[in-house]
Structure 1
Amino acid sequence: MFAKVDFARGAATMDETLRPTTVVIFGSPKIGSTALQEGQTMALYLPLRIQFFEDASGQTWASYEDPTVVAPSHGLAASNAAVQKMQAALLGFSTIATGS
Protein backbone atom coordinates (compact mmCIF):
# COMPACT_ATOMS: atom_id res chain seq x y z
CA MET A 1 0.00 0.00 0.00
CA PHE A 2 1.38 3.38 -1.01
CA ALA A 3 -1.21 5.71 0.52
CA LYS A 4 -4.64 5.97 2.07
CA VAL A 5 -6.81 9.06 1.57
CA ASP A 6 -9.52 9.42 4.22
CA PHE A 7 -12.08 11.89 2.88
CA ALA A 8 -14.24 11.75 6.02
CA ARG A 9 -11.27 12.77 8.15
CA GLY A 10 -10.52 15.62 5.76
CA ALA A 11 -14.14 16.76 5.88
CA ALA A 12 -14.03 16.73 9.69
CA THR A 13 -11.14 19.20 9.68
CA MET A 14 -13.52 21.63 7.96
CA ASP A 15 -16.37 20.89 10.41
CA GLU A 16 -18.18 18.93 7.72
CA THR A 17 -19.53 15.40 8.01
CA LEU A 18 -19.11 12.66 5.48
CA ARG A 19 -19.81 8.95 5.74
CA PRO A 20 -16.63 6.86 5.66
CA THR A 21 -15.04 7.36 2.23
CA THR A 22 -11.48 6.22 1.69
CA VAL A 23 -9.27 5.69 -1.35
CA VAL A 24 -6.49 3.13 -0.95
CA ILE A 25 -3.59 3.43 -3.40
CA PHE A 26 -1.46 0.33 -3.86
CA GLY A 27 0.39 -1.72 -6.41
CA SER A 28 3.42 -3.66 -7.45
CA PRO A 29 6.21 -1.77 -9.25
CA LYS A 30 7.16 -5.02 -11.01
CA ILE A 31 3.68 -5.60 -12.41
CA GLY A 32 3.17 -1.91 -13.21
CA SER A 33 6.50 -1.63 -14.99
CA THR A 34 5.73 -4.70 -17.08
CA ALA A 35 2.40 -3.18 -18.16
CA LEU A 36 3.93 0.22 -18.91
CA GLN A 37 6.55 -1.31 -21.19
CA GLU A 38 3.71 -2.21 -23.55
CA GLY A 39 1.26 0.60 -22.87
CA GLN A 40 2.96 3.58 -21.28
CA THR A 41 -0.20 5.69 -21.05
CA MET A 42 -1.66 3.09 -18.70
CA ALA A 43 0.29 5.05 -16.08
CA LEU A 44 -2.82 7.21 -15.76
CA TYR A 45 -4.38 4.29 -13.85
CA LEU A 46 -1.35 3.33 -11.79
CA PRO A 47 -0.75 2.77 -9.02
CA LEU A 48 -4.01 0.94 -8.55
CA ARG A 49 -6.69 2.49 -6.37
CA ILE A 50 -9.90 1.39 -4.74
CA GLN A 51 -12.55 3.62 -3.23
CA PHE A 52 -14.21 2.18 -0.12
CA PHE A 53 -17.32 3.91 1.11
CA GLU A 54 -20.20 3.38 3.47
CA ASP A 55 -23.71 3.97 2.18
CA ALA A 56 -26.61 5.48 4.14
CA SER A 57 -27.61 2.05 5.47
CA GLY A 58 -24.10 1.33 6.80
CA GLN A 59 -23.04 -1.16 4.13
CA THR A 60 -19.45 -0.93 2.87
CA TRP A 61 -18.83 -0.86 -0.87
CA ALA A 62 -15.74 -0.93 -3.07
CA SER A 63 -15.39 0.82 -6.40
CA TYR A 64 -12.54 0.74 -8.91
CA GLU A 65 -11.72 0.97 -12.60
CA ASP A 66 -11.42 -2.53 -14.07
CA PRO A 67 -7.99 -2.68 -15.75
CA THR A 68 -9.22 -5.21 -18.31
CA VAL A 69 -11.69 -2.59 -19.55
CA VAL A 70 -9.25 0.34 -19.44
CA ALA A 71 -6.11 -1.39 -20.78
CA PRO A 72 -7.11 -1.81 -24.45
CA SER A 73 -7.41 1.95 -24.90
CA HIS A 74 -3.77 2.14 -23.77
CA GLY A 75 -2.44 -0.51 -26.14
CA LEU A 76 -2.64 -3.46 -23.77
CA ALA A 77 -4.80 -6.49 -24.34
CA ALA A 78 -7.27 -7.32 -21.58
CA SER A 79 -5.62 -10.76 -21.53
CA ASN A 80 -2.15 -9.30 -20.87
CA ALA A 81 -0.62 -11.10 -17.86
CA ALA A 82 0.13 -7.86 -15.98
CA VAL A 83 -3.41 -6.57 -16.57
CA GLN A 84 -4.85 -9.85 -15.33
CA LYS A 85 -2.72 -9.62 -12.17
CA MET A 86 -3.95 -6.07 -11.59
CA GLN A 87 -7.55 -7.18 -11.94
CA ALA A 88 -7.00 -10.08 -9.52
CA ALA A 89 -5.38 -7.78 -6.95
CA LEU A 90 -8.25 -5.28 -7.12
CA LEU A 91 -10.87 -8.00 -6.82
CA GLY A 92 -9.06 -9.76 -3.99
CA PHE A 93 -8.41 -6.63 -1.96
CA SER A 94 -11.96 -5.31 -2.36
CA THR A 95 -13.47 -8.70 -1.47
CA ILE A 96 -11.41 -8.97 1.72
CA ALA A 97 -12.17 -5.38 2.75
CA THR A 98 -15.91 -5.54 2.14
CA GLY A 99 -16.44 -9.11 3.27
CA SER A 100 -18.26 -10.04 0.07
Structure 2
Amino acid sequence: MVTTFFTVIFIGKMLDMTPPITIYDSHFSVKETIDRIEHTLRERGVTVFARIDHCRGARQAGLDMQEEELLIFGNPEIGTNLMLENPAIGIELPLKILAWSDKSCTKVAHHKLESLTEEYGIRQSEAVISNMAASLRTIVTSAISKPITTREESL
Protein backbone atom coordinates (compact mmCIF):
# COMPACT_ATOMS: atom_id res chain seq x y z
CA MET A 1 0.00 0.00 0.00
CA VAL A 2 2.81 2.42 0.88
CA THR A 3 4.60 1.67 -2.40
CA THR A 4 1.42 2.33 -4.38
CA PHE A 5 0.85 5.62 -2.55
CA PHE A 6 4.43 6.73 -3.21
CA THR A 7 4.19 5.75 -6.87
CA VAL A 8 0.98 7.74 -7.35
CA ILE A 9 2.50 10.81 -5.72
CA PHE A 10 5.76 10.42 -7.66
CA ILE A 11 4.02 10.01 -11.03
CA GLY A 12 1.69 12.88 -10.21
CA LYS A 13 4.64 15.13 -9.51
CA MET A 14 6.35 14.01 -12.72
CA LEU A 15 3.29 14.90 -14.78
CA ASP A 16 2.92 18.36 -13.21
CA MET A 17 6.60 19.16 -13.24
CA THR A 18 8.34 21.28 -15.83
CA PRO A 19 12.04 20.52 -15.56
CA PRO A 20 13.91 23.46 -14.03
CA ILE A 21 16.40 23.69 -16.90
CA THR A 22 17.41 26.33 -19.42
CA ILE A 23 17.90 25.15 -23.00
CA TYR A 24 19.88 26.98 -25.70
CA ASP A 25 20.43 26.30 -29.40
CA SER A 26 23.99 26.05 -30.69
CA HIS A 27 24.91 25.99 -34.37
CA PHE A 28 28.12 24.11 -33.51
CA SER A 29 28.38 20.31 -33.24
CA VAL A 30 27.99 18.72 -29.81
CA LYS A 31 31.75 18.18 -29.52
CA GLU A 32 32.62 21.72 -30.59
CA THR A 33 29.93 23.20 -28.34
CA ILE A 34 31.30 21.37 -25.29
CA ASP A 35 34.89 22.19 -26.35
CA ARG A 36 33.96 25.88 -26.49
CA ILE A 37 32.16 25.84 -23.14
CA GLU A 38 35.06 23.95 -21.53
CA HIS A 39 37.51 26.49 -22.97
CA THR A 40 35.43 29.38 -21.59
CA LEU A 41 35.18 27.76 -18.15
CA ARG A 42 38.94 27.15 -17.96
CA GLU A 43 39.62 30.74 -19.08
CA ARG A 44 37.57 31.91 -16.09
CA GLY A 45 39.48 29.66 -13.69
CA VAL A 46 36.60 27.22 -13.17
CA THR A 47 37.58 23.63 -12.39
CA VAL A 48 36.40 21.08 -14.97
CA PHE A 49 36.02 17.78 -13.12
CA ALA A 50 34.81 15.52 -15.93
CA ARG A 51 33.55 15.29 -19.47
CA ILE A 52 31.27 12.36 -20.24
CA ASP A 53 30.44 11.21 -23.77
CA HIS A 54 27.08 9.45 -23.39
CA CYS A 55 27.08 8.40 -27.06
CA ARG A 56 30.41 6.60 -26.66
CA GLY A 57 29.09 4.84 -23.57
CA ALA A 58 26.02 3.74 -25.51
CA ARG A 59 28.21 2.37 -28.34
CA GLN A 60 30.31 0.44 -25.81
CA ALA A 61 27.07 -1.11 -24.56
CA GLY A 62 26.09 -2.04 -28.12
CA LEU A 63 23.46 0.69 -28.36
CA ASP A 64 22.99 3.64 -30.68
CA MET A 65 21.98 7.16 -29.67
CA GLN A 66 22.37 10.77 -30.76
CA GLU A 67 25.56 12.64 -29.85
CA GLU A 68 25.38 13.76 -26.23
CA GLU A 69 28.09 15.03 -23.87
CA LEU A 70 27.99 16.15 -20.24
CA LEU A 71 30.45 18.59 -18.70
CA ILE A 72 30.85 18.59 -14.89
CA PHE A 73 32.49 21.67 -13.38
CA GLY A 74 32.53 24.05 -10.46
CA ASN A 75 34.34 26.18 -7.97
CA PRO A 76 35.10 24.17 -4.80
CA GLU A 77 35.23 27.28 -2.60
CA ILE A 78 31.76 28.44 -3.66
CA GLY A 79 30.30 24.94 -3.60
CA THR A 80 31.70 24.26 -0.13
CA ASN A 81 30.15 27.43 1.26
CA LEU A 82 26.76 26.45 -0.17
CA MET A 83 27.06 22.96 1.34
CA LEU A 84 27.95 24.48 4.72
CA GLU A 85 24.60 26.30 4.60
CA ASN A 86 22.72 23.15 3.54
CA PRO A 87 24.62 19.88 2.97
CA ALA A 88 21.79 18.47 0.81
CA ILE A 89 22.60 20.96 -1.97
CA GLY A 90 25.67 18.80 -2.59
CA ILE A 91 23.46 16.54 -4.74
CA GLU A 92 23.31 19.43 -7.24
CA LEU A 93 27.05 20.12 -7.17
CA PRO A 94 29.30 20.24 -9.08
CA LEU A 95 27.33 21.95 -11.81
CA LYS A 96 26.61 20.29 -15.14
CA ILE A 97 26.04 21.34 -18.74
CA LEU A 98 24.59 18.87 -21.22
CA ALA A 99 24.77 19.16 -25.02
CA TRP A 100 22.95 16.83 -27.41
CA SER A 101 22.29 16.56 -31.09
CA ASP A 102 18.74 17.45 -32.08
CA LYS A 103 17.17 17.25 -35.53
CA SER A 104 17.90 20.86 -36.42
CA CYS A 105 20.80 21.89 -34.16
CA THR A 106 22.73 21.15 -31.00
CA LYS A 107 20.85 21.75 -27.76
CA VAL A 108 22.64 22.89 -24.61
CA ALA A 109 21.05 22.73 -21.16
CA HIS A 110 21.80 23.43 -17.51
CA HIS A 111 19.74 23.60 -14.33
CA LYS A 112 18.00 26.86 -13.50
CA LEU A 113 20.14 27.62 -10.51
CA GLU A 114 17.68 30.15 -9.09
CA SER A 115 15.39 27.25 -8.16
CA LEU A 116 18.04 25.96 -5.73
CA THR A 117 17.42 28.76 -3.22
CA GLU A 118 13.83 27.63 -2.70
CA GLU A 119 14.48 23.88 -3.00
CA TYR A 120 17.25 23.91 -0.40
CA GLY A 121 16.20 26.87 1.74
CA ILE A 122 19.33 28.82 0.88
CA ARG A 123 19.04 32.29 2.44
CA GLN A 124 22.54 33.43 3.45
CA SER A 125 23.97 32.59 0.01
CA GLU A 126 21.00 33.60 -2.14
CA ALA A 127 23.06 36.32 -3.87
CA VAL A 128 25.83 33.77 -4.54
CA ILE A 129 23.39 31.49 -6.37
CA SER A 130 22.01 34.45 -8.31
CA ASN A 131 25.56 35.39 -9.38
CA MET A 132 26.29 31.75 -10.30
CA ALA A 133 23.16 31.66 -12.47
CA ALA A 134 24.09 34.88 -14.27
CA SER A 135 27.67 33.65 -14.81
CA LEU A 136 26.45 30.31 -16.15
CA ARG A 137 24.16 32.01 -18.67
CA THR A 138 27.01 34.29 -19.77
CA ILE A 139 29.44 31.39 -20.13
CA VAL A 140 27.05 29.35 -22.28
CA THR A 141 25.84 32.21 -24.48
CA SER A 142 29.34 33.53 -25.09
CA ALA A 143 30.71 30.08 -25.90
CA ILE A 144 27.99 29.23 -28.41
CA SER A 145 27.74 32.61 -30.09
CA LYS A 146 31.21 34.02 -30.73
CA PRO A 147 34.52 32.91 -32.12
CA ILE A 148 36.96 31.80 -29.44
CA THR A 149 40.42 33.24 -29.93
CA THR A 150 43.40 31.34 -28.62
CA ARG A 151 46.54 33.11 -27.45
CA GLU A 152 48.40 32.14 -30.60
CA GLU A 153 45.66 33.57 -32.83
CA SER A 154 45.54 36.87 -30.94
CA LEU A 155 49.26 37.60 -31.27
Shorter-chain TM-score above 0.5:
yes
Give, in angstroms, the shift of residue 70 of structure 1.
2.2
Q: 2:90 aligns to what SS in structure 1?
A: helix
Match of 1:51 among 85, 98, 111: 98
User: 2:59 matched to which residue of 1?
Assistant: 12
Q: Is the 8 A contact 1:11 1:18 kept in 2?
A: yes
Stretch deviating more after TM superposition (83-92 or 31-40): 83-92
- Root mean square deviation of aligned Cα: 2.0
Given the alignment of the two structures, is residue 64 of structure 1 paired with residue 110 of structure 2, yes or no? yes
Q: Name the % identity.
A: 29
The runs of 4+ residues in structure 1 deviating greater than 6 Å are none
Match of 1:21 among 68, 83, 97: 68
Q: 1:18 aligns to what SS in structure 2?
A: coil
Q: Distance in 2 between matches of 1:55 and 1:5?
A: 18
Q: Distance in 2 between matches of 1:97 and 1:15?
A: 33
Q: Distance in 1 between matches of 2:142 and 2:64?
A: 26
> Could you say which structure has the greater relative contact order, defined with CA pairs below 8 angstroms and 6 or more residues apart?
2
Structure 1, unmatched stretches of 5+, are none
User: 1:36 matched to which residue of 2?
Assistant: 83
Larger radius of gyration: 2
User: 2:38 matched to which residue of 1?
Assistant: none
Give, in angstroms, the shift of residue 83 of structure 1.
0.8
Q: Distance in 2 between matches of 1:19 and 1:99?
A: 23
TM-score by length of 1: 0.82
Give, in angstroms, the shift of residue 74 of structure 1.
0.7
What do the CA deviations read for 1:63-100 (whole angstroms, capped 9, x no partner)? 121111122221114x7232123213422332244338
User: 2:13 matched to which residue of 1?
Assistant: none
